[in-house]
Amino acid sequence: MKKLLSPLSMGTDAASFLLRLFFGGMFVYFGYGKIAMYNEILPQFGDIIGIGSELSFHLVIFSEFFCGLLILLGLVTRLSVIPVFITMIVAYFIAHGQDEFQAKMPAFIFLVLCIPVFILGSGRYSLDYLIFKPKKNKS
């Protein structure tokens, strides 16, 4: 019973893995949709933050698809969450700032999910762990 109630590293790693799969997978999906429909979306994409609509769109694709893929794989997860977090801040407060909450709710949900993904990091079930796993001391 005591083991059931105590925090388990394996449980945390499994939770981190499942969260990364969902979170990263969703961003890869949305980013791929933007890549696939690039020529249709670009003319309609606004210059939301004053750097030009094309650069803004490229940054969104980078954030969603490429950073989402890194998160999904568990490779430099904490670093990869930062562009996603910034993108969701812009989406929630600027792009959908005047919209009703229901329209900007997906951006809000992903914004909130950035926090546990950042805190938990890659976990044991990740490429980071395979590449950089701690060496065991031979005594």
| Residues near 114 by beta carbon (within 8 Å), at least 6 away in sequence | 81, 84, 85, 88
* Structural domain spans, the chain: 16-132
pLDDT, residue 93, reads 96
Tens digit of each residue's pLDDT (9 = 90 or more) over 95-106: 999 999 999 999
Report pLDDT digits (tens) over 47-69: 989 999 999 999 999 999 999 99
Helix, coil or strand: residue 45: coil
Q: Which regions of the chain are under pLDDT 70?
A: 1-9, 137-139
pLDDT of 12? 86
- Would you state the pLDDT for residue 116? 96
Round to whole Å and give the CA distance between 30 and 32: 5
pLDDT, position 137? 66
Asked if 83 and 62 count as a contact pair (C-beta separation under 8 A), the reply is yes
Q: How much is the pLDDT for 134?
A: 76
